[in-house]
Chains A and B, each alone.
Chain A
Amino acid sequence: MHDKTIAQLSASLAAGEFSSEELTRALLERIERFNPQLNAFITLTAESALDQARAADERRQRGEAGPLTGVPIAQKDIFCTDGVRTSCGSRMLDNFIAPYNATVVEKLNAAGAVMLGKTNMDEFAMGSSNETSFYGPVRNPWDLDAVPGGSSGGSAAAVAARLTPGATGTDTGGSIRQPAALCGITGLKPTYGRVSRWGMIAYASSLDQGGPMARTAEDCALLLGAMAGFDPRDSTSVDRPVPDYAAALDPPLAGLKIGLPKEYFGEGLDNAVAQVVEAAIAEYRKLGAETIEISLPNSQLAIPAYYVVAPAECSSNLARFDGVRYGHRCKNPKDLLDLYTRSRGEGFGPEVTRRILVGTFALSAGYYDAYYLKAQQIRRLISDDFRRAFEQVDVIMGPTSPTVAFNLGEKADDPITMYLSDIYTIAVNLAGLPGLSLPVGFIGARPVGLQVIGRYFAEDRLLNIAHRYQQVTDWHARTPAGF
């Protein structure tokens, strides 16, 4: 039963083929068996999962089941979970038991989903390979030598390896889409403001957005339907009705106008990846879509702007981790400064430290205008590029990442090369648009992802576009060898 999608599990549970408790036990056993290889989970919540599963089974008996009732999922360890350690992949929060639930957790619980555990991630969501986690790297189930991508690497690997049919992720610069691509699954970063950030530990507040990760677009639709919605506790969440995403999957794609930005197919893109992506686009033409070459002229500014804005916000967001109220505190502090410097120095890993330092610098007196303000101006230019493109086309497509999954350790010491791994995803966050990655092929054993970018709040359209493709292809249905 571990091989079924959420939609299939939902149907099986409804048909009484097995109970949620049986399903949950089966998946917990798989996690026990495979997690030592993959390191996809930081914390397993077996007991509470079984409680939730039994409660879901009772709910179903009472005839109150929804599509996610009794369906097991995993939560990225960035979402606060009441009474459960919420580490954010950091030594800083290794001892932190959250006293409340994130809105996303609350909503999925309310929908009857069963939380199997908390997934591994790059420390504070800062990384593209899941190698910055305090809990060690996650391995890619398609090739254990390869990284799963990041920062939602644990969620992506767990879904790909059939340890869970779905998981939550968060995406600040590509952290859902890039690991989804590298692990051969489907992941959606919604429009900024679509999913509440309450209880989601902030990395870069103006870019962070939670979203679903699953094998299929249909499953993402089911998860997003439960996760999305206005939350009065998040001032940046948007008060706008949530469409029935699952009901919007089917319309045919005839007449769809797909924009192909020439900047996304140029220098830096691996040739083999380009060929796989072009084949996928050809498939879309067969489905009736029309492709148009477009230009997003400021694309090359996205990474530099992102690496000012995100670190600037992170330098402030992570100031609360000071060893005073919770989290890591150094032993025997001599005085206040010692408490701060050693608690933070010991609690944060090198990538987080680097970004805090960069961000602190960018906001400093005398540099603010040259860096932060300039980066905000670039953000506007990038949004304008997209706005103009969407006057011409319905969606934009391109590779999710310029290469397939790289080897563990390959880029770990070279932050700039690592940052380029998100070259096609970052602009979407800067503009606040929705973006989806779906699996469209392999190079050797390693998957390739296609990114689809839509207009604001066009999640339903992106899911529809991905779903139609998945009706005529089977890349999303393939299972990594050994799992």
Chain B
Amino acid sequence: MEWETVIGLEIHAQLATKSKIFSSAATAYGAEPNTQACAIDLGMPGVLPVLNWEAVRMAAMFGLAIGAEVARRSIFARKNYFYPDLPKGYQISQYELPVVQKGQLVIDLEEGVSKVIGVTRAHLEEDAGKSLHEDFHGQSGIDLNRAGTPLLEIVSEPDLRSAKEAVAYMKKLHQLVVYLGICDGNMQEGSFRCDANVSVRPKGDPKFGTRAEIKNLNSFRFVERAIEFEIERQIDLIESGGKVVQETRLYDPDQGETRSMRSKEEANDYRYFPDPDLLPLALDEAFIDVARADLPELPDVKKQRFMEQYGLSAYDAAVLTVSRELAGYYEATVAALGGEPKLCANWVMGDFSAFLNKENREIADSPVNAAQLAGLLRRIQDRTISGKIAKEVFEAMWAGESDADAVIEKRGLRQITDTSAIEKVIDDVIAANPDQLAQYRAGKDKLFGFFVGQVMKLSKGKANPQQVNELLMEKLKG
């Protein structure tokens, strides 16, 4: 039988506010345990939550960016359950009326195919703390630094049909929230994590199969592997006469498998009800207008513009708009150079990105800024140096000699374009290789490359390659 996979993702994006969603404690990552937890985060008796409007503004920006309805009235609800890292015994979340309702995201699949994925809702909620099971000799420690950190939980429609689509969706969402500046996107620190609802059904069946929820996937690779494993597990189970049960599963990256965590019967009844400590969240037009004004150019729009304005391919435009920083660097380079968008694209996507990746640097920390890169490209453009020499110059610039012209001068890398000088070198090469010359003239055309190589070597790579080709062709004819 042919099977169809149905996947829906719930993504938790940690909002990049300075303070928590219901208290003024800081949200910075990595502080000593419980040093960023105030009385409110600790759930002390008598404390009350006060909403951080910055988190709301960010949620509204997200809603506008995915063409969703930003609810003018939404409700904070309590999700009740007991857990040691949940100080109040409930999480403040949104349940029946979320702040963002019904949006969509277009994902790009292979061969230029794109697909619209529905976003059911996105709601604001607070994160829980962390249980620490090491270093406590059979006991557990609780760190409440993370408790109260604002999260935007983004729930997709069950529109995804493969692990690849799920990853594409997740990447697209990741790109978007980082673009919007509402999430730092750091997956290792848990700023962007995913629960996947996975089910399979016979192809053509309108009914959904029973789903399993895989919790807390914090990398694109894990999402892909976990879903692929889960699809196979469910198909095998059904084909061998079994039944998928609704349950929560955990992905074990070491074993590459998902394992049952709790079944539906064991699932909590969260007893949601509107939080009486918080008024309904009412947003007026002015607030939404501010959020709209804060929206940057969105990735898809930017990509389209890059294709039109710079004549770039869809691929190049996609790579260059992967982040706002890279796109900004590219545009600054083109502007400084005053044109040559393709040359700039090749360098930004090529050597520049390679060096950044190799050293794991952010663009902001790059030793070569856009104006400096443009300075180098100008020397390729005016044929002062060849593309090959330019790589050498770039390396020197990266290492700290930031000005391209200074490097070229200091190292004497200026390209030789003087015809007589090149001819002199060619003559020397021909004179030194009489055997090869004879063979070439006897019809062994392949040796042309040998002569080019010798000329470039003798000129220390500085001879203009195009002139070398032309002059050599003449001379070898005899």
Instruction: Check B292 for interface membership: any CB of A closer than 8 A.
Output: no
**CB contact under 8 A between A235 and B278, given known A96-B45, A320-B88, A320-B89:** yes
B269 within 8 A of partner (CB) = yes
Tell whether B422 is near chain A: CB-to-CB under 8 Å.
Answer: no
* Cα A436 to Cα B142 with chains together (Å): 46
CB atoms of B45 and A316 under 8 A apart = no
Interface string of A314-329 (1 = CB under 8 A from B): 0110111110111000
Interface 1/0 per residue, B9-28 and A, CB below 8 Å: 00000000000000000000
Evaluate contact between B48 and A93: CB separation under 8 angstroms: no
Given A235-B51, A235-B278, A324-B84, A80:B271 Cβ within 8 A: no
Closest-by-CB residue of A relative to B83 is A336
Number of chain A residues close to chain B: CB under 8 A: 44
Residues 46-67 of chain A, each 1 if its beta carbon lies under 8 Å from chain B, else 0: 0000000000000000000000
- CB of B229 within 8 Å of the partner chain: no
- The answer to the question of B222 belonging to the interface, with a C-beta cut-off of 8 Å to chain A, is no
Flag if A363 contacts B49 (CB, 8 Å). Answer: no
Dominant secondary structure of chain B at its interface with chain A? loop
CB pair B87–A325 under 8 Å, yes or no, is yes
Any A CB within 8 A of the CB of B347: no
Cβ–Cβ contact B269 & A201, under 8 A: no
A88 at the interface (CB under 8 A from B): yes
Residues in A neighbouring B277, C-beta threshold 8 A: 202, 205, 235-236
A295 at the interface (CB under 8 A from B): no
Residue of B42, B269, B271, B277 with most chain A CB atoms under a 10 A cut-off = B271
B421 at the interface (CB under 8 A from A): no
- Residue A15 interfacial (CB < 8 Å): no
A99 at the interface (CB under 8 A from B): yes
A322–B42 Cα distance when bound, in Å, is: 12
* Across-interface contacts of A204 in B (CB, < 8 A): 276
Say whether B271 contacts A364, CB under 8 Å: yes
Contact with B along A299-317 (1 / 0, CB 8 A): 0000000000000110110
Query: Given A197-B48, A324-B84, A364-B269: A316 and B42 within 8 A (CB)?
Result: no
Contact of B142 among A315, A324, A326 (CB under 8 A): A324
| Range, interface on chain B | 20 to 34
**A268 nearest CB across to chain B (Å):** 29
A168 within 8 A of B: no
| Contact yes or no, B271 A363, CB < 8 A | yes
Residue A102 lies at the interface, judged by CB distance under 8 Å to chain B: yes
Contact with A along B436-462 (1 / 0, CB 8 A): 000000000000000000000000000
Assess the B50–A316 pair: CB atoms within 8 A. Answer: no
Report the separation of the CA atoms of residues A235 and B273 in the bound assembly, to the nearest whole angstrom: 17
Q: Interface digits, A96-108 against B, CB 8 Å rule (1 contact, 0 not)?
A: 1011101000000
Sample 26 A-B pairs with CB under 8 A, ordered by A number. A80-B44, A86-B45, A99-B39, A102-B46, A198-B46, A201-B46, A233-B50, A234-B48, A235-B277, A235-B278, A235-B279, A236-B277, A236-B278, A312-B273, A316-B89, A319-B80, A320-B87, A320-B88, A320-B89, A322-B82, A324-B87, A325-B42, A325-B87, A336-B84, A363-B271, A364-B271
* Interface residues of A, Cβ cutoff 8 Å to B: 79-80, 86, 88, 93, 96, 98-100, 102, 197-202, 204-206, 232-236, 312-313, 315-316, 318-322, 324-326, 336, 340, 360, 363-365, 368, 372
